[in-house]
Amino acid sequence: MADSWEILKLLADSTRVRILSLLAKEELSVAELQEVLDMGQSRISSHLGLLRQGELVHDRREGKKTYYALNGGSNANEAALMQAACRAVEDSPQIAEDTANLKRVLEKRKRKAEEYFNSVAGRLGKNYCPGRSWEAIGHFLLHLTPKIRIADLGAGEGLVSQLLARRAEQVVCVDNSPKMIEFGSELAKKNGFSNLSYKLGDIEAVPLKDKSFDLALLSQALHHASHPQKAVDEAYRILKPGGQLIIIDLLEHHFEKAHELYADVWLGFSENKLYQFMKDAGFRQIEVNVVAREEAEPNFETVLACGVKG
């Protein structure tokens, strides 16, 4: 660490003080400092190198660019010396010009980002965007899960419930496959979830009490039911007044092999059919929408339906 004499030597140069005054306002790249100061790259890089050696600034790499900022770890004496030097020249015409140039450069930086998003407006969700995945969005939304009681009907291994259990008060998975119940229970134990349990049962005769849950899920389960209306009725029964049912299922399709390949009883449901199931069960505020379409054949589409218990 440089001593106070070395710091004073560094601050004796006007260009270095101008750089410090700018970095006190904003982290800047070498190219941006060039534009603000109207100086060559080698000259600015030389001064930045000295300031970095004196531990007054630090740098970070962002791809091919290097950004500089004031070193927040400076001790009290160093900070006092830098502040005094910057204050001494803050009313000078040169600093005023640098400040005006800085404002223009930052506005240019902002416009560049705006231009990109303006160019992809209306297409952002349709094209590739780094880091923008449904998996990431799903994990983000899971953090909004309130402390409620959730019933996952036809849960299978309960992978969705394994995530919901991180935030919910209690999650109960119901499935008619003993193997699924065994595997899910072991996974819940492995993950340390004391609020997640599995019950063997049929979604058309759910082994849960009336009016005991805040949210019921039927995620890709309804098309396996012999009598889908009974499953929706059962979901209504176990929900508290004001509780919500969410159904995620396949939109009606004509891929007959699904009966053999996936043990599907129904080849999906139309939006109108799902709406009628929920209406007949007694739900209100019903919404039904197609939310996804697979690119590969047979181009399955996913429909989401939700409603509130009256």
What HEC string does the chain produce? Answer: CCCHHHHHHHHCCHHHHHHHHHHCCCCEEHHHHHHHHCCCHHHHHHHHHHHHHCCCEEEEEECCEEEEEECCCCCHHHHHHHHHHHHHHCCCHHHHHHHHHHHHHHHHHHHHHHHHHHHHCCCCCCCCCCCCCHHHHHHHHHCCCCCCEEEEECCCCCHHHHHHCCCCCEEEEEECCHHHHHHHHHHHHHCCCCCEEEEECECCECCCCCCCEEEEEEECCHHHCCCHHHHHHHHHHHEEEEEEEEEEEEECCCCCCHHHHCCCCCCCECHHHHHHHHHHHCEEEEEEEEEEECCCCCCCEEEEEEEEEC
CA atoms within 13 A on the CB side of 109: 15
Predicted model pTM: 0.62
For residue 18, how far is the Cα from the chain centroid? 40
Gap between the Cα atoms of 87 and 277, Å rounded: 72
Topology of domain 4-119 in CATH is Arc Repressor Mutant, subunit A (1.10.10)
Long-range contacts of 100-106 (CB under 8 A, 24+ apart): 101/35, 101/36, 101/37, 101/38, 102/22, 102/25, 102/26, 102/28, 102/36, 105/28, 105/32, 105/35, 105/36, 106/26
Quote the CA–CA distance of 40 and 50 in Å, as a whole number.
16
- For 1-49, the pLDDT digits (tens) are 567 888 899 999 999 999 999 999 999 999 999 999 999 999 999 999 9
Residues 132-145 have a mean pLDDT of 72
Q: What is the mean pLDDT of residues 281-309?
A: 95
Looking at residue 142, what is its pLDDT?
73
Distances (CA, A) of 145 to 89, 151, 231: 53, 14, 24
Contact 287, 306 (CB under 8 A): yes
CATH superfamily of 134-309: Vaccinia Virus protein VP39 (3.40.50.150)
Measure the CA–CA gap between 128 and 125, rounded to whole angstroms: 8
pLDDT of the residue at 127: 62
Question: Residue 111's pLDDT is what?
Answer: 86
Tens of pLDDT, residue by residue over 247-275, are 999 999 999 999 899 999 999 999 999 99
The residues, any chain, with a CB within 8 Å of residue 81's CB and separated by 6 or more, are 4, 7, 8, 11
Domain residue extents for the chain: 4-119, 134-309
Instruction: Calculate what percentage of the chain has a pLDDT beyond 90.
Output: 73
Q: Which of 82-91, 125-134, 181-190 has the lowest mean pLDDT?
A: 125-134
